[in-house]
Amino acid sequence: MPIISAPQEYNEEDLYVDLDAVLGIPLHLKCEGFNFTGSVKQKAALAMVEAAEESGALTPGSILVESSSGNLGVALSIIAASKGYGFVCVTDSRCNLASKRLMNAFGAEVHTITEPAEDGGFLGARIAHVRALCQEDERYVWLNQYVNEANWQAHHRHTAPAIARAHPGLDVLFVGAGTTGTLMGCARWFKSNRPGVRIVAVDSVGSVAFGHPPAPRMIPGLGTGVRPPLLDESFIDDVVMVPEPDTVRMCHRLAARGFLFGGSTGTVVSGAARWLAEQTDGGRLDAVAIAPDLGERYLDTVYLANWAQGVYGSDVLDTAPRPLTSLS
């Protein structure tokens, strides 16, 4: 029986959903949403906070500040509350209302950027706001998830080895790309320890991470308007780009079978399904995808019919499986 005294002490590493039994997709989905912060970001958040404490950058009286589209902000708000730090999350208008309310409940301030920067979009504008806050008050400590080595190291230390233990015959791992902390931590570990495992990055159409043109994106989590400094494509075997309507459809397909996952998971599963369907060797692969969070924080967006149809069109909720077309 686990007994904890701080919320960040518990993280579920060993729960998978067999999507072959659920949707006919030969894929095991690693569920990262069953911890006290509700997402895979708990690992990176804790690792970055502890690294800042060890370096002396974070001391009693410090105020954490970070740019986040939601999940990292929630994780940091919980850890900050547990450790007694202040926290300011700089987000933008795409952040789910539920995530903002959660951060407020834990005592965090939420600054919402409403106008994108000419260079770098909303992310560029968020980072500029963080820099301005740090210049105004020396108590602010910016962890900077976009360049912080502790971000990917957390997944190199925990996530990848856990997947390897559960799937000793793993052939392919699908990981969503945001800051690329989860992606690079897993990719580096497998290339060093199990080089035969193929690493497939899944990104949202409109993201510039892998050199594709920028375009508006409405679902927070995956994708970026600035190339991630942590990204090293030499560790990546393939990239799949997923349009947001496909994300919404996959989320609703999963919900129709009783599994409520977040938007990032819908993207990753959609991309993995297409990639697996395009394999022509005829053999069955041992495949795993990482589900970053659950779906409760998306009830006002992805799972709200009026919102989804207003953004993507009336047919976006047609969840019948469609012909899989290549978009990489």
Cα separation, 229 vs 227, in Å, equals 6
Chain-centroid distance of CA 241 in Å reads 15
Residues 68 and 138 in one domain: yes
In a domain, 266, yes or no: yes
The pLDDT value recorded for residue 322 is 54
Asked whether residue 68 falls in the same domain as residue 196, the answer is no
254 and 295 share one domain: yes
Q: What is the CATH number of the domain that holds 301?
A: 3.40.50.1100
The reply to whether 286 falls in a domain is: yes
The answer to the question of residue 63 being in a domain is yes
Which structural domain, as residue segments, surrounds residue 97?
41-142
144 sits in the region (left: phi over 0; alpha: psi -120 to 50; else beta) called left
For residues 297 and 95, give the distance between their C-alpha atoms in angstroms, rounded to a whole number: 10
Q: Is residue 212 located within the same domain as residue 293?
A: yes
How many Å apart are CA 177 and CA 126, to the nearest integer? Answer: 19
Tens of pLDDT along the chain (328 residues)?
A: 789 999 999 988 999 999 999 999 999 999 999 999 999 999 999 999 999 999 999 999 999 999 998 999 999 999 999 999 999 999 998 898 999 999 999 999 999 999 888 878 888 899 999 999 999 999 999 999 999 999 999 999 999 999 999 999 999 999 999 999 999 999 999 999 999 999 999 999 999 999 999 999 999 889 988 899 999 999 999 999 999 999 999 999 999 999 999 999 999 999 999 999 998 666 789 999 999 999 999 999 999 999 999 999 988 988 665 555 445 5
Confidence (pLDDT) at 321: 58
Question: 203 and 182 in one domain?
Answer: yes
What's the whole-model pTM score? 0.94
pLDDT of residue 94: 85
Q: What is residue 282's predicted lDDT score, i.e. its pLDDT? A: 64
Instruction: Give domain status of residue 149, yes or no.
Output: no
- Report if residue 151 sits inside a domain: no
- In the chain, DSSP assigns E strands to 16-18, 28-31, 63-67, 86-92, 109-113, 140-142, 172-176, 198-204, 238-242, 287-291
Domain presence at residue 211: yes
Contact 245, 312 (CB under 8 A): yes
Total tally of structural domains belonging to the chain: 2
213 domain-assigned: yes
Together in a domain, 208 and 305 = yes
**Do 309 and 203 share a structural domain?**
yes
**Cα–Cα dist 213/208, whole Å:** 6
Which pLDDT belongs to residue 251?
97
Q: To 10 degrees, what angle do helices 71-83 and 97-105 make?
A: 0
Q: Of 142, 169, 192, at which residue does a domain stop?
A: 142
- The CA angle 119-120-126, to the nearest 5 degrees, is 120
As a whole number of angstroms, the distance between CA 52 and CA 144 comes to 11
